[in-house]
Amino acid sequence: MRIYRLEGTVGTKSLVMREEPEPLPNPHEILMRVRATSLNRRDAMILNGTYPLTPREGVAPLSDGAGEVVAVGDAVTRFAVGDRVTGSYFARWIDGRVNAGLIDQLGCTLDGLLTEYAVLDEQWAVRLPDHLNWHQAATLSCAGLTAWNAVTGSGIAKPGQWVLVIGSGGVSLFSLQFAKLLGCRVVAVTSRAEKTDKLRALGADLVISTSDMPEWGAAVRDQTGGVDLVVETGGPATFAQSLIASTLYGHIVLLTLQDAKGGSIQMPAALYQRSLATISRLFVGSRTNLEAMLRAVSQHRLRPVIDKVFAFTEAGDAYRYFRQGDVFGKVIVDGA
């Protein structure tokens, strides 16, 4: 089988395709034929050597993928041959709070899904909704689950309330979709005016172009009465404006702490001392969270937004395209 591994130095030169024997599942494992994978910001950080969790030398990259079960171990009870599955980002985190013993991640400390065949412990996988094609199904376990927990986990997002999303990457667009699913109103902030119509078509009630309005926080607050929940993916460039846009008791889920140059979030004291907003963090989510999200995706027949699809042999090009940053939705690598 063909499999990509991260070897040696950082950058796309470390992404090497190998030929290896097709693996066999142990008693509690499943063998997954991978049909598609997708890239997340953490995958670019791993490639750049800037991810806070050190990847295993020679690891197969990418946490997000989708495929069907083609073989099962003798003791497997959760899956059967033919089931459509994806992996759980924190493979060992089933439920409850995360702790140091549960930090193993697919595509980082555990082999990921940029491969023709992948072996997963049956506890590391979940079934996929039937209405999704392989490309759509490959986008859910990192960006999708992060957005789901950002929107639903705060207890803030209720029908009629305002949710603010930033940019047009996977987490932002999933957050927009989930917020609309819950009956919320959505403000979408974009640096690209040409994406305004796409964001409105996806359901955004108010779209702000930072090229036309770099200091947008006060305008958003004036037009909404204050945002109830911010899914903050912009980092240092947008955090102060998100705080200004928030209502007095707003909630900011802070997902990006640094910019591409290593600059960190700064707490603007003059702004925050006038606010009672809650600022929180989250780390993707557990398998139980993933299963809850997939039930909602299935019930509402939600379809993830795909930006571009690359062939399996073009994985390096997919990384380069993703890293340039001007995407609208998810970047996919097709199955081998």
Read off the pLDDT of residues 169-207 as tens digits, 9 standing for 90 and up: 999 999 999 999 999 999 999 988 889 999 999 999 999
Q: What is the sign, positive or negative, of the torsion defined by CA atoms of 86, 91, 94, 99?
A: negative
Distances in Å between the Cα of 152 and the Cα atoms of 139, 253, 296 are 19, 11, 11
Q: What is the sign, positive or negative, of the torsion defined by CA atoms of 224, 169, 309, 35?
A: negative
User: How far is residue 10's CA from residue 319's CA, in Å, rounded to a whole number?
Assistant: 13
Q: What is the sign, positive or negative, of the torsion defined by CA atoms of 65, 70, 72, 76?
A: positive
- Secondary structure element (H or E) that encloses residue 198, with its range: helix 196-202
Across the chain, mean pLDDT equals 94
Helices 315-323 and 41-48: crossing angle, nearest 10°?
Answer: 100
Read off the pLDDT of residues 3-33 as tens digits, 9 standing for 90 and up: 999 998 778 889 999 999 999 999 999 999 9
Read off the pLDDT of residues 218-267 as tens digits, 9 standing for 90 and up: 999 999 999 999 999 998 889 999 999 999 999 999 998 887 777 888 88
Query: What is the residue type of 46?
Result: I
User: How far is residue 269's CA from residue 275's CA, in Å, rounded to a whole number?
Assistant: 10
Instruction: Say what the pLDDT of residue 192 is.
Output: 87
Distances in Å between the Cα of 5 and the Cα atoms of 24, 41, 106, 132, 314 are 19, 18, 13, 28, 14
Residue 211's pLDDT band (boundaries 50, 70, 90)? confident
- Using left for φ > 0, alpha for ψ between -120 and 50, and beta otherwise, residue 8 falls in left
Contact (Cβ atoms closer than 8 angstroms) between residue 189 and residue 214: no
Provide the token pair at 48: 């750049």
User: How far is residue 67's CA from residue 87's CA, in Å, rounded to a whole number?
Assistant: 10
The region of weakest confidence among 39-43, 99-103, 272-276 is 272-276
SS3 278: strand
Instruction: Say what the pLDDT of residue 271 is.
Output: 85
Angle, vertex CA 169, rays to CA 95 and CA 148, nearest 5:
25
- Is the pLDDT assigned to residue 315 strictly greater than 90? yes
pTM of the model: 0.95
Provide the token pair at 36: 């598609």
Burial readout 123-156 (b: 16 or more C-beta within 10 A, e: otherwise): ebbbebbeebebbbbbbbbbbbbbbbbbbbebeb
Q: How many contiguous H segments (helices) and E segments (strands) does the chain have?
A: 10, 15
Instruction: Say what the pLDDT of residue 40 is.
Output: 97
The predicted model gives 302-324 an average pLDDT of 96
User: How far is residue 67's CA from residue 15's CA, in Å, rounded to a whole number?
Assistant: 22
The predicted model gives 277-297 an average pLDDT of 96
Read off the pLDDT of residues 131-183 as tens digits, 9 standing for 90 and up: 999 999 999 999 999 999 999 986 778 899 999 999 999 999 999 999 999 99
